[in-house]
Structure 1
């Protein structure tokens, strides 16, 4: 279904079959001269059919249309290659754009074997083969035009300013329309669910970076936040406060779990609370174990950065324990 949510701005729900996210909010900004698509859905036939139908319903001409990819995840970038081959120009950030192209290689995914050992996920005998990023990302490199903080995309009466909001991914971008007080935020701020903040490497505190990005957007003058999943947000400050509180409680939960025990990432994640329909860790599907362990890891590394938790390595497995 394609719904006009603001003058010449349309919301197109792209189904994400068999995925807890259920659907992607793809946005289409239409004008007489050119059009803008924001995010695409997975690289799978169900998503492509829904996107193509929505574009057809709006009489979108590919020759005068651009695609803006907020970040690298395959539910956002999956069809970028297909649209690129149809003649649509692709905009995204340099960091995440490069990673999208790496996701089509086995080398990129082999690092998940390293994470599997580090996180202690060997216990669960999982692999990356059923990870949605592996299955539904673009399979060939895409030609993209990199965008930077402060760049402007003008579509009709709208002037969209590029905003760098890393955290959910290392190079996540948003689009801010100051005059109309609109913000397209990708997965930076979500309502009714919380963005997954995962682990991307030891060289930076990605959770701390995410907090900084939330605070950066907090004082923006915004009437409507258009997120990539679930509900349009009308009070972004309230929702940011809720997200910060959520992560504060998550950090306290983890400190409680490792207060007296030195545990692996996998064992910590298995003891954390998750708002999922599964009864226990053993019944989590493989992708959910990856996501849960990655989120546990980002919080653990943040606690290491703040000096509240210490880590050690034994037989290739990371262990964490509270200092207090």
Structure 2
């Protein structure tokens, strides 16, 4: 059921079956001239049916509707290709738009075979087709309208400014209306749960990038931060402080794990604390092993970038230890 959470702004919950996130919020911003939808759910029947139920409840006409994808993850972008066939304009940040189209081919996902070796996940017989991003992403290319920071999208009484907030993904974007002091932040800032900060390559310290994006949004005047999962955030500064504290604790946890010598990403992740209903690593569903290892990797690389840890490679597997303890 679509619920009005602000004048002419509706939040519609779309279930994510079998996923710990449970659901995603798709937002519908309505006006007499144009409508804007923010994010879609997975490319699977359950999400499609729920999404269309909200569309029908609100009598949304695709002929005067645009779609904005906050970032590349398939729970946000999964139905974008189908909507583009309905002549819906599909907006996305330039970086993530390219990656979404790359994800429509198996070639993109085969790099995860290299990651499985690099992370030491071959111990768990994990393959890229275990990844929900592969299963539920758009399966064909999309003709996106690329957005950059500062672009404006006007819908009725709202004037939304595109804000770059990389970290959760390399090209994550948000929408900010300065007059109404509202922000659509995708997965950048979530209440009750913490966004997964994964590994996106050795070219940058993605955890530092995320920290910078959090500090950027800290400066904004925001009364309501509409996030994609769980609750609306009404005190974004308090929540940002909590998220920064969480990652500080994560880094200290990892340093404690690797203090006695080199360990693989998978073995480090298996010793970290996770909010899952599993007591041991072997009970983790394979998708959660991917996510846990990716998050461990982003934190390990941050420790390397900041001179607190070092790494070596052996037969394609990366091993990390505290600086001066690689043995």
Counterpart-to-counterpart distance in 2, 1:31 and 1:65: 10
- TM-score, normalization by structure 2: 0.98
Counterpart-to-counterpart distance in 1, 2:297 and 2:168: 13
Structure 2 gap ranges (5+)? none
Counterpart-to-counterpart distance in 1, 2:59 and 2:32: 11
- TM-score, normalization by structure 1: 0.99
- The residue that corresponds to 1:81 in the other structure is 81
* Deviation at residue 130 of structure 1 after TM alignment: 2.3
Counterpart-to-counterpart distance in 1, 2:25 and 2:151: 23
- The residue that corresponds to 1:103 in the other structure is 103
| Per-residue deviation, residues 30-69 of structure 1 (Å, max 9, x unmatched) | 0000000000000011111111110111111101000000
- The residue that corresponds to 1:243 in the other structure is 243
Q: Which contiguous aligned blocks of 4+ residues in structure 1 show a shift greater than 3 angstroms? A: none
- Alignment RMSD: 0.6
- The residue that corresponds to 2:199 in the other structure is 199
| Per-residue deviation, residues 206-251 of structure 1 (Å, max 9, x unmatched) | 0000000000000100000000000000000000000000000000
- The residue that corresponds to 1:233 in the other structure is 233
Counterpart-to-counterpart distance in 2, 1:279 and 1:253: 18
Counterpart-to-counterpart distance in 1, 2:63 and 2:275: 43
Alignment of 1:1-324 (within 5 A): 1-323=1-323
* Deviation at residue 261 of structure 1 after TM alignment: 1.8
Structure 1 gap ranges (5+)? none
Counterpart-to-counterpart distance in 2, 1:234 and 1:315: 49
Aligned partner of residue 129 in structure 1, secondary structure? helix
Counterpart-to-counterpart distance in 2, 1:182 and 1:230: 17
Counterpart-to-counterpart distance in 2, 1:87 and 1:314: 50
Aligned partner of residue 76 in structure 1, secondary structure? helix
Q: Give the stretch that moved more between structures: 50-59 or 75-84.
A: 50-59
* Deviation at residue 129 of structure 1 after TM alignment: 1.1
Aligned partner of residue 110 in structure 2, secondary structure? helix
* Deviation at residue 262 of structure 1 after TM alignment: 0.6
Aligned length: 324
Aligned partner of residue 68 in structure 1, secondary structure? strand
Counterpart-to-counterpart distance in 1, 2:316 and 2:36: 46
* Deviation at residue 158 of structure 1 after TM alignment: 0.1
Counterpart-to-counterpart distance in 1, 2:127 and 2:283: 16
| Per-residue deviation, residues 143-176 of structure 1 (Å, max 9, x unmatched) | 1100000000000000000000000000000000
Counterpart-to-counterpart distance in 2, 1:21 and 1:223: 24
